[in-house]
Amino acid sequence: MKAFVVDKYKKKGALRLADLPEPQLQDNDVLIRIQATAVNLLDSKVRDGEFKLILPYRPPFILGHDLAGTVVKAGSRVRRFKVGDEVYARPRDHRVGTFAEFIAVDEADVALKPNNLGMSEAASIPLVGLTAWQALVEVGKVRPGQKVFIQAGSGGVGTFAIQLAKHLGATVATTTSAANAELVKSLGADVVIDYKTQDFEKLLSGYDLVLNSQDPTTLEKSLGVLKPGGRLISISGPPDPAFAGELGLNLFLKLVLRLLSRGVRKKAKRLGITYSFLFMRAEGQQLGEIARLIESGVIRPVVDKVFPFEKTGDALTYVETGLAKGKVVITVAD
Amino acid type, 128: V
Average pLDDT, the chain: 97
pTM of the predicted model as reported, rounded to 2 decimal places: 0.97
Domains and CATH numbers, the chain: 2-123+302-331 (3.90.180.10), 128-277 (3.40.50.720)
Per DSSP bridges, beta strands 110-112 and 86-89 are antiparallel
CA distance 240 to 243: 5
Q: Which whole number is the average pLDDT over 22-48?
A: 97
- Model confidence band, residue 116 (pLDDT cutoffs 50, 70, 90): very high
Angle CA 44–130–142, to nearest 5: 125
**Nearest by Cα to 89 from 115, 72, 108, 117:** 108
Q: pLDDT tens, 227-251?
A: 999 999 999 989 989 888 888 888 8
pLDDT of residue 171: 98
Q: Could you report the per-residue pLDDT of 67-103, keeping only the tens digit for each?
A: 999 999 999 999 999 999 999 999 999 999 999 999 9
The predicted model gives 201-229 an average pLDDT of 97
Q: Confidence band (pLDDT; 50, 70, 90) for 334? A: confident
Q: Where are the beta strands (DSSP E) in the chain?
A: 2-6, 16-19, 29-39, 61-62, 67-74, 86-89, 102-106, 110-112, 147-150, 171-176, 191-194, 207-212, 226-234, 274-277, 303-308, 327-331
CA–CA dist 76, 172 (Å, integer): 46
Q: Which long-range contacts (CB under 8 A, 24 or more apart) does 19-26 make?
A: 20/62, 20/100, 22/102, 23/97, 23/102, 23/103, 23/104, 24/104, 25/73, 25/75, 25/104, 26/75, 26/104, 26/106
φ, ψ for residue 50, nearest 5 deg = -65, -25
Spatial contact of 280 and 131, defined as CB atoms under 8 Å apart: yes
Residue partners of 63: CB distance under 8 A and separation at least 6: 4, 5, 6, 15, 43, 46, 47, 96, 97, 99
Which pLDDT belongs to residue 54?
86
How far is Cα 289 from Cα 97, in angstroms, rounded to an integer? Answer: 24
Q: What are the pLDDT digits (tens) for 134-178?
A: 999 999 999 999 999 999 999 999 999 999 999 999 999 999 999
Interatomic CA distance for residues 137 and 82, integer angstroms: 30
Taking the CB of residue 140, how many other CB atoms lie within 10 A of it? 25
